[in-house]
Chains A and B, each alone.
Chain A
Amino acid sequence: MADPIAPSVGVAAPVATATGIVKIFGEARALDGVDLAVVPGKVTGLVGPDGAGKTTLIRVLAGLMASDEGAVSILEGPPAERLDAIGYMPQRFGLYEDLTVRENLVLYAEMRGLPREAQESVFRRLLEFTDLARFQARPAGKLSGGMKQKLGLACALVSTPPLLLLDEPGVGVDPISRRELWAMVAELTREGIGVLWSTAYLDEAELCDTVYLLSEGRMLFTGPPAELTGAIHNRVIRVTGFAERRREALTRALDRPDVIDGTLQGRAIRLLIGEGEKVPDAAALDMGPDTQVTPTPARFEDGFIERLGGGPEGTSALAAAYREIPASDAPAIEAKGLTKRFGEFTAAQDVSFTVPRGHIFGLLGPNGAGKSTTFKMLCGLLTPSEGSGSVAGYDLRRAAARARSSLGYMAQKFSLYGDLSVAQNLDFFAGAYDLSGAEAREAIARVTEIFELGAHLKRNAGTLPLGFKQRLALACAVMHEPPVLFLDEPTSGVDPVMRREFWTHINGLVRRGVTVLVTTHFMDEAEYCDDVTLIYRARQIASGPPDSLKAQAARLTGKDDPTMEDAFIALIEASDADGEAEEAA
């Protein structure tokens, strides 16, 4: 096979450029005058929350969509004439689920016109590269999320294009597979390929050589990620040793005028101080005698929040209007030996935990490891094969309906009725949770005011901006003031300000005594939990507060101050090593 991209070091000419791109859908300006360049041998990050316009821009670059204004050039020509030069991996890569890994590769090789005699060596290289050689005969539909993405990448690479457009390859992929994907991309850039990596995960931005930060169709920032974090250098602090409970401390800190953003990090809180404000010391924060304030490195997300004008206040209007959940010694959520088998396959094995009232409990784990199965058993969507569970004191087998009326549920994917108006959605969910008459009207009026839905009541829920969808989903879940909330990856893909707003409400509700169960593979969300359990290969491999998991990981890896993601990876790798040792024995 002729290699079209012999390592051409030092060539700065971009493989793709877009200038002044405008794309209008109906009345919405999906892209509003956007510039971008992809340089060979580098990873260019296209970063932004869902709905920012990332996919639209990539489709314009790939020649699948014409822009209303602006120009695109791929290797100094229009995209339509350079299709052979573009490797494109859409968000849902077009894998044929019934075909095997190998058959998919053959199909894409044929479509790309790769000569038969060259195919074998290319496949060998790609299968080795993606570590899929063992799974050649497996149907693509039976692969895990991470493996599917790798296969998608392999299919996009059959002809080694000089430009590779990757639309959110990290979505739905657990941290381990995500690291592997990054390693693969790093190798491709060494070969001189120009990679455009789009993502909604802000931690991925820091891995890119250049970042384009897109928000609502406009570029908020262009340049190396360090430039963005450099601007807020010295303004990020970590506070420990405060006397109050951490959620109270965070709320109070966020209500200060000089603090523009803050998050929980295990037992610590992390604060971003506004531009021009004096960074407060322990005395200024007034959180007790043992309070310690240490500077901490800024993250890309901090920079994004700063550009968006800071996060919300710490006090939640929702929590203020919420009823106080009566105190009780009985656990709010309890799982006892929950096991689920689908035929031969065990999806969850003997999962047990208890969550006391007013706690946030996190179910973590890679996709397909069993966390969703456990979650579904606890909210009554699946009947356990063995074991039992209870929610708000109601046994899931014997009082399923009562258990269900005690919980509010919100899923990662917007799962309200998009064709119905906001008001109709609210009406329906009020009725579904047994609110009628004056009670229903009151509840609807309350959430309408808190979430500022008033102006959108007549609008179809499906056409709302992402932030309002998020608010509507939460509104529908809490209208009946349930004592327990179930959240399924509630904030993946939303912009950090919306995520802050969401967690401000959740933190407020927890202080009212609401108990929260959250599934996530988003490590940021894990930090908000009081306790987590890590589920891997259907079993719980580690449980405890986030800090204790991090401490375990520190012992395993020897790394001091590991992140939650480091802990996740270290614990899973340790479990794999144990498994292999057992098998060997």
Chain B
Amino acid sequence: MPVLQLPARFTRLRAMIVKEIWALLRDPKSRIVLVLPPLIQLFIFTFATTLDVKNVDIGLVDRSGGVHAQELLQRIEGSPRFRDVIVLPSMAAMEQAIDEQQVLAAIVIQDDFDQRLARGQSATLGLVLDGRRSNAAQIVAGYVSQIAGGYGAELAPISARQGGSSAVTHWYNPSLDYMWFTLPGLVALIISIAGIAITSQAVARERELGTFDQLMVSPMRVHEILIGMMMPPLLVGMFNGMLFLVVAQVAFGVPFTGSFLLFIVAMIFYQLALIGMGLLVSAMSMTQQQAFLGSFIVTVPLILLSGYAAPIENMPDWLQVITYADPVRYFLIIVQGLFLKAMPASVVFHQLWPLGVIALVSLSAAAWLFRARME
């Protein structure tokens, strides 16, 4: 009697979903734990992972002592990028200053600097960078060459143009505020950590409580149990995603230029892919402790291979292939695109279908493993 079976199926599924949601949300403390730490993480990490280089000291060894050198020094001192310009008496003093991390970089003005410029020749500026902090140093190098280039262009507009200096404008992030770049990425990361951590506990919790057998002898089907277990992390993830969206705009002023609907759709796909992986970990684990460790083993590579920390193009080829299985990789592109450049649906879809494939594969594998691990 297929007509009668349909409502019966929903009865069980509904009971399972309601039970799972209660299990996660009944305790007021656990409700707070699900929302507050991710939010705090978002705040802390946004400030912590800033790629902006502000508040750095740089050194200056002026061996020329001329007017042009003075002018350049003033321009550098006037730049908001640097806190202090420390004038160093000698190359030896410069070496020591960098060695002791007193300064991140030092500008060396050669003794013929002024003379060459006075003769209308091009002059070279030496820049010593602290390679131990290569990222920040690279950025400082950029700032310094920008300032020096600007000064040079003023002195000899024609020669500069001939030299083919480039004029850079930064699309989508005109003021080069790095928060605009890091914060959408953090949304992807924090959601993945929370999603996998919550899901991985689901099956393991039942096993540890001794309720697993009780569940398995009921007429509940495997897919009903798994769908029930997917619901709470999905809801928590969606809630946190919305919250982050609001916080990003209100608290950090990062604009959301894309389609909200696309964001929701992408979030659902992303969550399903993560939940599939979390359930896989959960079905493999016999205890909650194993599940907890398992979620670590999965989450860390997901983040490192996502392209958030290091560009995927810089990875060796074989590793790049592995990143195709990483859901964070795709959602990172989507979420950055939707925040900053109003990514259109067709482009989002390119990143969306791999998420769908990952979700399908991982959820099927979890269901299979769930059945297999029953014995």
A 418-432 to B, binary, CB cutoff 8 A, 1 in contact else 0: 111100100111111
Q: List 24 A-B contacts (CB under 8 A).
A: A380-B217, A381-B213, A381-B216, A382-B374, A401-B221, A404-B217, A405-B218, A405-B219, A411-B213, A415-B209, A417-B19, A417-B23, A417-B211, A418-B209, A419-B27, A424-B22, A430-B15, A431-B16, A432-B16, A432-B219, A433-B218, A436-B8, A436-B11, A486-B217
Assess whether A407 is interfacial by the CB under 8 Å rule. yes
**Chain A 374-406 interface 0/1 with B at a Cβ cutoff of 8 Å (1 = within):** 001001111100000000000000000110110
Question: What residues of A have a CB within 8 angstroms of the CB of B23 in the complex?
Answer: 417, 419-420
Does the CB pair B218–A404 fall under 8 Å? Answer: yes
Q: Contact at B16–A409, with CB atoms within 8 Å?
A: no
Q: Is A434 an interface residue (CB 8 A)?
A: yes
Interface assignment of A435: CB less than 8 Å from any CB of chain B: yes
* A434 and B11 within 8 A (CB): yes
Does the CB pair A415–B219 fall under 8 Å?
A: no
Residue of B nearest to A432 (CB): B218
Total count of chain B residues near the partner, CB < 8 A:
27
> Chain B 1-43 against A: per-residue CB contact (8 Å), 1 yes, 0 no?
0000001100110111011001100110000000000000000
Given known A-B contacts A415-B211, A418-B209, A431 and B11 have beta carbons under 8 A apart: yes
CB nearest to B212 among chain A residues: A415
Q: Does A413 contact B (CB under 8 A)?
A: yes
Contacts of A382 in B (CB 8 A): 374-375
Q: In this complex, which of A404, A419, A431 has the most chain B Cβ atoms within 10 angstroms of its Cβ?
A: A431
* Distance between Cα atoms of A376 and B374 in the complex (Å): 11
CB-based contact B213/A415 at 8 Å = yes
**Nearest CB in chain B to that of A430: its residue:** B15
Q: Contact between A436 and B7 (Cβ–Cβ < 8 Å)?
A: yes
Q: Is B210 an interface residue (CB 8 A)?
A: yes
Question: Known contacts being A420-B26, A428-B15, A431-B14, is A413 close to B218, with CB within 8 Å?
Answer: no
CA distance A457 to B26 in the complex (A): 14
* Nearest-CB residue, chain A, relative to B215: A432
Which residues of the partner chain A approach B26 to less than 8 Å between Cβ atoms?
419-421, 424
Q: Is B175 at the interface (CB under 8 A from chain A)?
A: no
B18, A431: Cβ atoms closer than 8 Å:
yes
B220 within 8 A of A: yes
Q: Which of A429-485 contact B (CB under 8 A)?
A: 429-436
A503–B178 Cα gap in the complex (Å)?
71
Closest to B225 in A: A432
Residues of B within 8 A of A429 (CB): 15, 218
User: Any chain A CB within 8 A of the CB of B346?
Assistant: no
**Do the beta carbons of A407 and B217 come within 8 Å of each other?**
yes
Q: For B12, what are the chain A residues with a Cβ–Cβ distance below 8 Å?
A: 431-432, 434
Contact A383 to B375, CB < 8 A, known contacts A401-B219, A407-B217, A420-B22? yes
Q: Does B214 count as interface, using CB distance less than 8 angstroms?
A: yes
Q: Is the CB of B19 within 8 A of A424?
A: yes
Residues of chain A within 8 A (CB-CB) of B215 are 432
Chain B residues near A436 (CB-CB < 8 A)? 7-8, 11
Report whether B217 and A417 are in contact in the complex, using a CB–CB cutoff of 8 Å. no
Q: List, in ascending order, chain B residues with CB within 8 A of A381's CB.
A: 213, 216-217, 374
B11, B213, B221: the one within 8 Å of A435 (CB):
B11
* CB-based nearest A residue for B20: A428
> Which residues of B from 215 to 252 have beta carbons under 8 Å from A?
215-221
Whether A416 lies near B219 (C-beta < 8 A) is no
On whether the beta carbons of B374 and A427 are closer than 8 Å, the reply is no
A380 to B219 alpha-carbon distance, docked (Å)? 10
Q: A416-B211, A417-B23, A424-B22 are in contact. Are A379 and B217 (CB under 8 A)?
A: yes
Interface residue ranges, B against A (CB under 8 Å):
7-8, 11-12, 14-16, 18-19, 22-23, 26-27, 209-211, 213-221, 374-375
List residues of chain B with CB within 8 A of the CB of A416: 211, 214
Q: Which 7 A-B pairs have the closest CB atoms?
A: A431-B15, A405-B219, A436-B11, A428-B19, A432-B218, A409-B217, A415-B210
A404 touches B219 (CB 8 A): yes
CB of A406 to closest CB in B, whole Å:
9
Max count, chain A CB within 10 A of own CB: residue among B8, B22, B219? B219
Closest Cβ–Cβ distance, residue B224 to chain A (whole Å): 9
- Kindly provide the distance from the CB of B7 to the nearest chain A CB, expressed in whole angstroms: 7
Nearest Cβ in chain B — how far from A492, in angstroms?
14
Give chain A nearest CB distance to B149 CB in angstroms: 64
Beyond the given pairs A405-B219, A436-B11, 15 more chain A to chain B contacts, judged by CB atoms under 8 angstroms and listed by A's residue number, are: A381-B374, A382-B375, A401-B219, A404-B217, A409-B214, A415-B209, A415-B210, A416-B211, A419-B23, A421-B26, A427-B19, A428-B15, A431-B14, A432-B12, A486-B217
Q: Select the residue from A402, A421, A424, A486 with max chain B CB neighbours within 10 A.
A: A424
Cα distance A428–B228 in the bound complex, in angstroms: 12
**B221 contacts across to A, CB distance below 8 A:** 401
> Which of B11, B12, B16, B215 has the most chain A CB within a 10 Å cutoff?
B11
B306 CB, min distance to chain A CBs, angstroms:
34
Give Cα distance in the complex from A434 to B6, angstroms. 11
C-alpha spacing A433/B215, complex, angstroms:
10
Choose one: A409, A411, A428, A434; the contact of B210 (CB below 8 Å). Answer: A411
A401 to B211, CA, bound (A): 18
How far is B23's CA from A417's CA once the two chains are assembled, in angstroms?
8
List the B side residues contacting A413 at CB < 8 Å.
210
Measured CB to CB, the nearest residue on chain B to A405 is B219
For residue B288, give the distance in angstroms from its CB to the closest CB of chain A. Answer: 13
Assembly CA distance A401 to B27 (angstroms): 33
Least Cβ–Cβ distance between A96 and chain B, in angstroms: 17
| Docked-complex contact B220 and A380, CB < 8 angstroms | no
Report the Cα distance A430→B16, complex, angstroms.
11
Of all chain B residues, the one with the shortest Cβ separation from A382 is B375
CB distance from A273 to the nearest CB of B (A): 40
A486 to chain B, nearest CB (A): 7
Nearest-Cβ distance from residue A355 to partner chain B, whole angstroms:
17
Q: Which residue of B lies closest to A379 (CB)?
A: B217
Residues on B with beta carbons closer than 8 Å to the beta carbon of A424: 18-19, 22, 26
Q: How far is the CB of B227 from chain A (nearest CB, A)?
A: 14
| Residue ID in chain A nearest B375 by CB atoms | A382
Across-interface contacts of A418 in B (CB, < 8 A):
209
User: Which chain A positions have C-beta within 8 A of B375?
Assistant: 382-383
Residues of B within 8 A of A409 (CB): 213-214, 217-218
Q: How far apart are the CA atoms of A415 and B218 in the complex, in Å?
A: 13
Contacts of B210 in A (CB 8 A): 411, 413-415
Q: Do A428 and B209 touch (CB < 8 A)? A: no
CA distance A141 to B14 in the complex (A): 40
Distance to closest chain A CB from B295 (angstroms)? 20
Q: By the criterion CB–CB under 8 Å, are B209 and A432 in contact? A: no
